[in-house]
Structure 1
Amino acid sequence: MAQLAHKSVTILPLDVVSASSIAARVSQLPVDSLDILINNAGANYMMPAADADITTGKQIFDLNLWAPLAVTQAFMPLLLASTHGAIVANHTSGTVTFHFPFQRIYSASKAALATLTDNMRLELQPIINVHITSCCGPRYVLGPANHVNGLHGSN
């Protein structure tokens, strides 16, 4: 992540499914406010819905849905303190509307995150200076996990 460093950007890795990790990271911040929070953690689970392991499915929901909510709640006091207006961007997925086989658990978790994001925006935007939005790419982002999942490409 060092290549992403910039003098005005602080990148904070943390275990987003650990309440103690989230709380520790919030308390370690050397600032009094936060302008942008990007919830970008996520995991896929390639399995037909009929064969999906419920325990694994719950872990996917913990990471893809509940973790962004927990992180946003923990950082909300710093976001509210922003003098410029803050942004929370939740990384959802194109699979919410473009369906692919064997990704029902992942797609459902990201659809839930998209719905949560829309509801948070509707609840909070009229009363606070924090804009809540979702972001997703129009297609797959190729990376190391794509080869494991059988998706290949050079770009």
Structure 2
Amino acid sequence: MAGTALVSGAGKGIGRAIAQSLAAQGYNLFLLGRDGEALAAVATACAEHSVQAHFLAGDLCEAGHIATALAAAEEKLGAIDVLVNNAGAAARGAVQGADLAAWRQVLDLNLWAVIALTRGVLPAMIARRQGAIINISSISGRHSAGGDAIYAASKHALNGFTASLFEDVREFGIKVSCIMPGFVDTALTAGMQRRHERMIGAEDIAACVDFVLAASARCCPTEIVIRPQLAP
């Protein structure tokens, strides 16, 4: 049954595909992202499915923004049924040459913003004994490579957080899932010298979200690993 959904990083790529898929299923949406114009365009597209689509632009790492976003979402939609933590960033390079300030920003967005948004929606989900929290992670949360330290670390941490969160809230009927894609054809991979036509599409990740939400009350797909069929 459709309800309300909050999607972060909804202005482009994976977040946009997820928002549009949820709208097609009848979810009323609150969209978060940095680019107000991009969010407005996604909200307009979602509203074509006769649902409410609100948005708030801003930086999830700025002090007070998450609290403001959660309050605005509750004002517009009431309690949130589905939280999709999709916003993320990457910084690449060897540890010995790390820009620690930039690395801290990656960790703040990829992990701490997820924790804060999750903590914000949980009380109402627990009270209603229903809801779903879906975190968009990465295959880098299982495998590590040189030059990938902070991104891999943030995604390993996100996977661990998600697994423990499921154990904390499973008895309340709340679904918790971590989706770990391999290479997805988005802005995050745009500069990579790989065969982008072989990469996963953003709509494939949206389909994974749909799969989690469609699962019966008897089960929860706690982890989904999705990789390109052909090596990019």
Report which of the two has the higher share of strand.
2
CA distance in 2, matches of 1:86, 1:68: 16
Identity %: 24
State the structure with bigger RCO (CA 8 A, min sep 6), 1 or 2. Answer: 1
Q: Are 1:142 and 1:152, in contact at CA under 8 Å, matched by a contact in 2?
A: no
Q: Which residue of 2 aligns with 1:143?
A: 186
Normalised by the length of structure 2, the TM-score is 0.58
Deviation at 1:25, TM superposition (A): 2.1
For residue 119 of structure 2, the aligned residue among 52, 73, 76 is 73
| Alignment of 1:64 onto 2:127 | no
Structure 1 unaligned blocks of 5 or more: none
Equivalent position SS for 1:148:
coil
CA distance in 1, matches of 2:189, 2:179: 20
After superposing the two structures, state which structure 1 stretch, 58-67 or 95-104, moved more.
95-104
Aligned pairs for 1:22-61 within 5 A:
22-29=66-73, 30-61=76-107
Letter in 1 for 2:62: S
Q: Are 2:61 and 2:105, in contact at CA under 8 Å, matched by a contact in 1?
A: no
CA distance in 2, matches of 1:123, 1:82: 16
Deviation at 1:21, TM superposition (A): 2.1
Q: May I ask how many residue pairs the two structures share in their alignment?
A: 152
CA distance in 2, matches of 1:100, 1:52: 15
Over aligned residue pairs, what C-alpha RMSD do you find? Answer: 2.2
Deviation at 1:17, TM superposition (A): 1.8
Question: Structure 1, residues 93-128: CA drift from partner, whole Å, max 9, x if none?
Answer: 1012233331111000110111111111112223x2
CA distance in 2, matches of 1:129, 1:31: 21
Equivalent position SS for 1:132:
strand
| Alignment of 1:16 onto 2:35 | no
Letter in 2 for 1:103: D
| Alpha-carbon spacing, 1:26–1:147, altered in 2? closer, same or farther (3 Å) | closer
| Alpha-carbon spacing, 1:101–1:151, altered in 2? closer, same or farther (3 Å) | farther
Q: Which residue of 1 aligns with 2:214?
A: none
Deviation at 1:150, TM superposition (A): 4.0
Normalised by the length of structure 1, the TM-score is 0.83
| Alignment of 1:116 onto 2:161 | yes
Q: Are 2:141 and 2:180, in contact at CA under 8 Å, matched by a contact in 1?
A: no
